[in-house]
Amino acid sequence: MKYRNLGHSGLKVSEIALGSWLTYGESTEKQTAIECIDEAYNLGVNFFDTANVYNRGQAELVVGEALKKYPRDSYVLATKVYFPMSDGPNDRGLSRKHIMEQCDASLKRLGVDYVDLYQCHRYDENAPLEETLRALDDLAAQGKILYAGVSEWSAAQITHAKAIEDKRNLRPIVSNQPIYNMLVRYIEKEVIPTSEANGMGQIVFSPLAQGILTGKYKPGQQAPADSRAANEKINRFIKGYLNDDVLNGVQKLDNIAKSIDANLAQLAIAWILRQPNVSSAIVGASKVSQVRENVKAVDVELTDDVMKEIDVVLKEIDGFVPAW
């Protein structure tokens, strides 16, 4: 495994992180989820990402149970706050009340005294930004969180937050967690430059585009029976990718991967890690074998010639991929 600093902070995180969105506590059996976490840990992954809203706390329970056997200082644990946890009017968003209460609830479910990274899962237009940032700063002062991050914030929102941090001398936000993969690249234009200028690193999710960039989905064919696309509970995020123009392009990317003795998933992750502002790529896994294969991406080197081949294919696909 290889490690990078989380933004401009001193925290080292593995280039591959293991996430629990759409899987742990929901579609993946608990024992299998624990086996995936164990395998990742044994392969050098030290970064584990979850959120309170993932199956209403069930993912945090599974992640906490899996990690409790390991020394707390040996891994980096991240969770999030924002989405509704009940029908209550205050049980959502980024108010001080919700942040403080949900941090305590997450710590209890995870079975830890602190989380390394606490992230605002989205931007909250209904909560004053200074209130949100002060709440995060207070949690850090209390030792309940070590670092604060955000997810899917725009460049303007990041810039506004940094201005408040500087004015009020608050602890800085160190990371942003956006979607980023070969097919969805919106962060390259403004988010990455703004983040880099403000000392923030990207922790990207969906690096394999919900499995599209594994090559398992073929143009003109039905989705495999055991795939995410065939699972009615969790396939809502993948349907937009399933058109033949995209899938034909993916087959070309698969051929490029084979030409460098890699599989498509490894190529796709290595392509993400080419970005110096990316601190880590979060992979999901419902099988131990997927963890093993994805971790190998850190050793895949993309030459200039290979990058040129990839760019040609991505330009062909551009326009057929739905906006995120």
Show the tokens assigned to 31.
């024992």
| pLDDT above 80: residue 176 | yes
Averaged pLDDT for residues 128-138: 98
Catalytic residue among 54, 118, 123, 241: 54
pLDDT at 271: 98
pLDDT at 30: 87
Spell out a b/e string for 88-127, using b for 16 or more CB atoms within 10 Å of the CB, else e: eeeebbbbeebbbebbeebbebbebebbbbbbbbbbbeeb
- Which uninterrupted H or E stretch holds 323? none
Domain 3-210+266-300 has CATH 3.20.20.100: yes
| CB-CB contact of 33 with 46 (8 Å) | no
Specify the range with the lowest mean pLDDT, choosing from 52-66, 96-110, 228-242, 281-295.
Answer: 228-242
| pLDDT above 60: residue 27 | no
Q: 38: left (phi > 0), else alpha (psi -120 to 50), else beta?
A: alpha
Report the sign of the C-alpha dihedral through residues 232, 47, 1, 9, in that order.
positive
pLDDT at 5: 98
Report the sign of the C-alpha dihedral through residues 323, 81, 287, 279, in that order.
positive
pLDDT at 89: 97
| pLDDT above 80: residue 229 | no
Which is more confidently placed, 119 or 228? Answer: 119
Number of alpha helices (DSSP H) and beta strands (DSSP E) in the chain: 10, 10
The structural domains of the chain, with segments of one domain joined by +, span 3-210+266-300
| pLDDT above 70: residue 230 | no
| pLDDT above 90: residue 198 | yes
Active-site annotation holds for 241? no
% of residues, the chain, pLDDT over 90: 83
pLDDT at 250: 95
Show the tokens assigned to 47.
């970064």
Per-residue pLDDT tens digits for 239-276: 677 888 999 999 999 999 999 999 999 999 999 999 99
- Indicate the pLDDT class of residue 104, thresholds 50, 70 and 90: very high
